[in-house]
Amino acid sequence: MKLRIFTAAAVLFILASPLPPAVAADFLPDAIPPQKAGTDGEGGKINLPDERYVAIYSGSTKGTYFYVGSAICAAVEASFSQHHIHCVSLRSQGDASNIELMQQGRAQFIIIQSNTNDDAAEKRIDLPTGRSVMSLHDELGAIVVSKGNKVASVSGLKGKAVNLGPAGTSSRRLWEQLLAANDIALTEIGTIYGAPQDFNPRALCDGNFDAFGLWIGHPTALVAMPIANCGARVIGMQSPGADRLVAQFPYFFAGTIPAGTYPGQDQPLASYGFKATLVADSRVDPDLVYWVVRSVQDNLSLFKARLPALANVDPRAMFEKANFLPFHDGAARYWREVGWLGASEAK
């Protein structure tokens, strides 16, 4: 089957085209138990503790988002005596799936990429109730190449079997954008696979494809596993096309995966990427959102220690960077409280 090829300019035009306004679905978030009054066994009512609940749709349990969601919840639980909020990280298929869950009114909080945050802010994606809470860790692109392959850059993927992720996902969209920016037609890739990222380590080691790539917080098991299990290599995504994307879009930045992040990686890897961001539905109680932000900031050492990808998170950057959607009222309350957001500012 012949694939239709888009030039870099065409891809950027498609990404820049706004969608018509969407109507928000009813807000019935998942995993939030109803509050029920108890009884004393003789018909009398018992006053239950004023406990509340937060659920964060995150990502795959083999990826990074799920554990970042768990780190947020650990920080919330550490301050439980102040707010009586329970918190849970819910598994999902990541960025695109989380957007759908919020569109359906099923998500209080979601973790999404900063480019998706910007797409929502500019109405290229329908997310009428999405509001920024804070940005999180850096997500840099990495390409994992099977043992024996000599691929050393993005251009070296021509003629190879490469997993670009399922059609319609953020991974596929990012891959198509990067290839177009480097003037690489999809037909120049030998075989294109559309498997979810959870399949990447085993499929690469089984010889099903030559390479896969992902934008993620490092280190991650999705990269470390095929290196340890079958001698795979990791390379960066720095390229002329990546440089053009960084210059073109406010959510991309150039970055480096430090030497020693993965076994056998004795040199730093130049790449590019974006930030992960936490977004809340506008209908979430502002007090819940306030305490999520405050709990992370008050327990920042605990939060950062939960996952290596969070080790270099900067508290000021969590406010200043990648929050393209307006701040949720609860987040704005905290950022004003610490003096980083002006009294009359929406973001």
> For position 17, what pLDDT does the model report?
45
List pLDDT tens digits, range 293-327.
999 999 999 999 999 999 999 999 999 999 999 99
Respond yes or no on whether the N-terminal peptide bond of residue 34 is cis (omega within 30° of 0): no
* 3-state SS class at 238: coil
With contact defined as beta carbons under 8 Å apart, do 94 and 63 qualify? Answer: yes
> For position 229, what pLDDT does the model report?
97
Identify the band that residue 19 occupies on the pLDDT scale cut at 50, 70 and 90. Answer: very low
> For position 15, what pLDDT does the model report?
42
What distance in Å separates the CA atoms of residue 292 and residue 53, rounded to the nearest whole number? Answer: 11
User: Which DSSP letter does residue 327 get?
Assistant: B
Identify the band that residue 9 occupies on the pLDDT scale cut at 50, 70 and 90. Answer: very low
List domains and CATH numbers for the chain.
24-37+49-137+276-337 (3.40.190.10), 140-274 (3.40.190.10)
CB neighbours of residue 247 within 10 Å = 9
Do the bridges between strand 269-281 and strand 253-257 make them parallel or antiparallel, or are there none, so unpaired? antiparallel
Identify the band that residue 24 occupies on the pLDDT scale cut at 50, 70 and 90. Answer: confident
Using only the alpha carbons of the chain, give its radius of gyration: 21
Task: Look at residue 267 and tell me whether its pLDDT is greater than 70.
Answer: yes
> For position 62, what pLDDT does the model report?
85
Q: Could you tell me the sign of the dihedral formed by the alpha carbons of 150, 155, 159, 161, in that order?
A: positive
Task: Look at residue 291 and tell me whether its pLDDT is greater than 70.
Answer: yes
> For position 164, what pLDDT does the model report?
97
List pLDDT tens digits, range 222-258.
999 999 999 999 999 999 999 999 999 999 999 999 9
Q: How does the average pLDDT of the chain come out, rounded?
A: 91
> For position 2, what pLDDT does the model report?
34
Burial of 346 (0-12, 13-18, 19+ CB in 10 A): exposed
Amino acid, single-letter form, for residue 333: R
Q: Could you tell me the sign of the dihedral formed by the alpha carbons of 239, 242, 246, 247, in that order?
A: positive
With contact defined as beta carbons under 8 Å apart, do 92 and 228 qualify? Answer: no
List pLDDT tens digits, range 45-89.
655 557 899 999 999 998 899 999 999 999 999 999 999 999 999
Task: Enter the tokens of residue 99.
Answer: 């957007």
Task: Enter the tokens of residue 266.
Answer: 């004795």
> For position 205, what pLDDT does the model report?
97
Task: Look at residue 5 and tell me whether its pLDDT is greater than 60.
Answer: no
Lowest mean pLDDT among 44-58, 66-80, 134-148, 158-172: 44-58
